[in-house]
Chains A and B, each alone.
Chain A
């Protein structure tokens, strides 16, 4: 009641008082709100943005087969008591030391399956590698650490005339003993990489979010193709700046490897890169080898 009275009193003032002040910023719409809270600015030139992205490729590419290989290697140091067998550990939520001094904690298991399939008259072999459990930590006696919190998956379909593979690297993965940059630095991602071989050409596609070594990118159908000598051929990559604003690289679909770079709608120019060395390496990592 009192508040109502106050409101009545206030609204009963002179007509001038009763009018909203157009400069008071009290509205809730974007147009009325001063944007003085926003102090972002472009962090990179076009060339620097392309170089930043190239730094990501230079670290190698996340691969479920690589993640599984390390897992197998480290599981070999376990024993019958800890973690229980050399394929999986599920009863180690509070961790255990094997006799060899390796520490296993959490839930860990990779599984390979091979299935003959026939879809719409096309027969193919589906090889799949997946984490059954990917929430673990393995420590070596010399202080190296393999930590995971997420999913690694590779599904490869081998047809009579071509092969297609898709990897999904999801969550957080790190192996500090790795000689691959992405694995040693650790990655946080929800990244899907597609690969195709056959018919005289090979290609890669990249989709999803990927963070590695303090660089954070979102891929939207970025394509690399052998028909373009492994240069990029279309797609968009969004790079996160330190201030959390984003720089967008829109790659031309003309095999030029060039991208138009913008920040907050501002055109920063065009920059080109030669990433031809990375394509075959990523293709191999994505196809996987059992």
Chain B
């Protein structure tokens, strides 16, 4: 603390002063093993497990961990993983919008793809900015969006290749301003407005997501509530009653900048799909206030994006977003020193996110596997030294292992709630459940069990029965391989390392062998391999990281 105080005031101590005695920060965390840490980083950055070779690389040289981490920053899977992470905060991956697949000549069987395409649009733009190592400010200034083939056919955009696949940049053709996510349809389809609300809720969303100012948490005095209740025109009252002004002096000017997305026929896909530049001027008329962002006048969305990017809170909010995403918990004022240092890193990197991600993964808390006695009881629950594999990660993990997705009626079960189990699996539906489940529960356990069963069956059938592997989870194995064959122990030992990020000890291997032999004796070869895999994939050590 003394050292911090001196640094804060600037300048070294006078030469004749007594050297300060720096207080030693107590060690609060026990470190994860290098391989378990490698697993955590891989899951956080890519959503998949390290390979056996990568584990062995770190076993041989722990310094390889940072090298691998930096390599994974360039992995295309980073973009997918960031989309998962952003979805938990931006809440755009909902089941159901005012527009539906029919509006765009798609059948109901494409409902899932339709909804996820729309919801991912703003998230993909942000993930693209990160993965392409662009300044984070581009998320509010970019003159393009990200579309997949479905959106390329739905949105008024150009530049998507005729035979293109996947998510790629495209530019708008309807004269909407260059303001990155602020001008994505996906964001405003999720956060629609009404004739009474007039973009106010959208304004609050911008404040919450981009500068981390949650206006809904501001204290409100109801001292003038009688006056409000009796007022015929509450729109005017909220601009004059002091208790209301605390929020509405911010909300109304920001809402006034958003009328290009204001719909005159709310459920019309034709209206919803296009930006309406001629309505930009309606905001100041409807709300009786000129557009502004926390006091800075703006002339529409393009300027709004630039003003937000220049706001100090924008970079601080980015730090909060990524720190909370990787630490799996909310940051608080107690984290001020850490987030301040992270922000310095972020600013020094010209708002590029990858150095920030690296800095977070360097934090002792990120690398912790447990807490020490130095952590007082009141703080003990804060650090997430063990994170739960929720629905999103479960999906990408099982996709990696089985080479496919668990699908029901066209929907990926772990990423959908109409036909799936996303919420039951600990995920966020974006409407009612807004934070991911942090602790194991009954439904999560049941979903994990069923996902493990499906995945194990697919692996065994593809790799060992049909001999048509899309994956290589069981290298060197055959259906008939005996537990007495050294190759069996090699395969299962490597599988354990791959799945858990740790070597199986003799006791564990003996248990695996006994289980496998018992299953084989009772139900045959396929059941033995499947059963063994199910047990491993349901193991709590596999389902946490």
CB <8 Å contact, B268 and A172 = yes
> Which of B273-281, B390-398, B452-460 is near enough to bind chain A?
B273-281
The reply to whether B265 and A171 form a contact with Cβ atoms under 8 Å apart is yes
For window 1-54 of A, CB contacts with B under 8 Å fall at 1-6, 9-10, 12-14, 17, 26-30, 33, 36-38, 40
How many chain B residues touch A (Cβ–Cβ < 8 Å)?
A: 47
Which of A77-85, A243-251, A281-289 touches B? A243-251
| Highest count of chain A CB atoms <10 Å: which of B278, B292, B296, B337 | B278
A134 cross-chain contacts in B, Cβ below 8 A: 265
Q: Please, which residues of chain A bring their CB within 8 A of the CB of B175? A: 214, 216, 242
B202-230 at interface with A (beta carbon < 8 Å): none
CB under 8 Å from chain A, chain B span 275-333: 276-282, 292, 294-303, 306-307, 310, 312, 333
Check if B303 sits within 8 Å of A150, measured CB to CB: no
CB distance from A25 to the nearest CB of B (A): 9
| Residues of chain B within 8 A of A105, CB atoms compared | 102-103
Contacts known (A33-B295, A244-B300); A218 close to B281, Cβ less than 8 A: yes
Q: Mark A41-73, 1 if CB is under 8 A from B, else 0.
A: 000000000000000000000000000000000
* Distance A164 CA – B210 CA, assembled complex (angstroms): 50
> How many Å from the CB of A16 to the closest CB on chain B?
10
Q: Which chain A residue lies CB-closest to B259?
A: A209
Interface pair A149/B302, CB less than 8 Å apart: no
A174 to B321, CA, bound (A): 42
Q: Are A149 and B312 in contact (CB under 8 A)?
A: no
What is the interface of chain B mostly: helix, strand, loop, or mixed?
helix
Q: Give the complex CA separation of A210 and B277 in angstroms.
A: 9
- CB atoms of A172 and B292 under 8 A apart: no
How many angstroms between the C-alpha atoms of A31 and B363 in the bound complex? 40
Contact B292 A244, beta carbon cutoff 8 Å = no
Known: A218-B278, A218-B281. A243 touches B302 (CB 8 A): yes
B268 and A150 form a contact (CB under 8 A): yes
Which residues of chain B are near A4, meaning CB under 8 Å? 333
Tell whether A170 pairs with B264 under 8 Å between CB atoms, given A2-B336, A38-B299, A245-B299. Answer: yes
A225 contacts B by Cβ under 8 Å: no
CA distance A37 to B436 in the complex (A): 37
Is the Cβ of B270 less than 8 Å from the Cβ of A149? yes
* Chain A residues with CB below 8 A from B60, complex form: none
| Cβ of A102 to closest chain B Cβ, rounded Å | 14
Within the assembled complex, what's the spacing in Å between the Cα atoms of A30 and B294?
Answer: 9
Most buried by B among A29, A33, A217: A33
Q: Which of A2, A151, A188, A244 interacts with B274 by CB under 8 Å?
A: A188
Across the interface, which residues of B come within 8 angstroms of A211, CB to CB?
276-279
Cross-chain contact B268 with A171 (CB below 8 angstroms): yes
Known: A2-B337, A26-B312. A240 touches B269 (CB 8 A): no
CB distance from A223 to the nearest CB of B (A): 20
B1-32 contacts to A, CB under 8 A, are 1, 4-5, 8-10
Number of interface residues of A (CB under 8 A): 56
State whether A9 touches B303 (Cβ < 8 A): no
* Cβ contacts under 8 Å, A240 to chain B: 277-278, 280-281
Q: How far is the CB of B53 from chain A (nearest CB, A)?
A: 43
A172/B303 contact (C-beta < 8 A), A6-B4, A13-B9, A28-B296 known: no
Q: Does A148 contact B (CB under 8 A)?
A: yes
Q: Does A202 contact B (CB under 8 A)?
A: no
User: Would A10 and B8 count as touching, CB distance under 8 A?
Assistant: yes
A252, chain B: closest CB distance, angstroms? 22
Q: How far is the CA of A94 from the CA of B100 in the complex (A)?
A: 9
Q: Does B180 contact A (CB under 8 A)?
A: no
Q: Contact: B10 with A17, CB < 8 Å?
A: yes
- Least distance between A9 CB and chain B CB atoms (Å): 5
Q: Closest approach, in angstroms, between the C-beta of B497 and any C-beta of chain A?
A: 40
Q: Which residue of B lies closest to A134 (CB)?
A: B265
Q: A85 to B59, alpha carbons, bound, how many Å?
A: 75
Q: Provide the A240-283 mask, 1 if CB < 8 A to any CB of B, else 0.
A: 10111110000000000000000000000000000000000000
> Which partner residue on chain B sits nearest A211 by CB separation?
B278
Verify if B355 is at the interface (C-beta below 8 Å from A): no
Within 8 A of B (CB), among A163-179: 170-172, 174
CB interface residues, B 342-377, toward A, < 8 Å: none
Contacts of A232 in B (CB 8 A): none
Q: Is the CB–CB distance between A37 and B307 below 8 Å?
A: yes
- Shortest CB-to-CB span from B365 to chain A, Å, is 15
* Given A6-B336, A149-B265, A190-B279, A29-B295 contact (CB < 8 Å): yes
Cβ contact within 8 Å between A6 and B337? yes
Q: Does B467 contact A (CB under 8 A)?
A: no
Q: Which residues of A contact B276 (CB under 8 A)?
A: 172, 188, 211
Cβ contact within 8 Å between A135 and B267: yes
How far is A6 from B3 in the complex, measured between Cα atoms in Å? 12
Closest 10 CB pairs of A and B: A149-B268, A244-B300, A211-B278, A3-B333, A37-B306, A149-B271, A28-B295, A149-B270, A216-B278, A209-B278
What are 7 pairs between A and B in contact, CB < 8 Å?
Answer: A3-B334, A95-B102, A105-B103, A150-B271, A170-B265, A189-B278, A211-B278
Binding site for A on B (CB under 8 A): 1, 4-5, 8-10, 102-103, 105, 108, 175, 177, 264-265, 267-272, 274, 276-282, 292, 294-303, 306-307, 310, 312, 333-334, 336-337
> Given A172-B270, A238-B281, A244-B301, 17 more contacts at CB 8 Å?
A1-B334, A2-B336, A3-B334, A13-B10, A33-B295, A37-B307, A38-B299, A147-B270, A150-B265, A170-B265, A172-B271, A190-B279, A210-B278, A216-B277, A216-B278, A243-B299, A246-B281
Residues of A within 8 A of B (CB): 1-6, 9-10, 12-14, 17, 26-30, 33, 36-38, 40, 93-95, 105-106, 134-135, 137, 147-151, 170-172, 174, 188-190, 209-211, 214, 216-218, 238, 240, 242-246
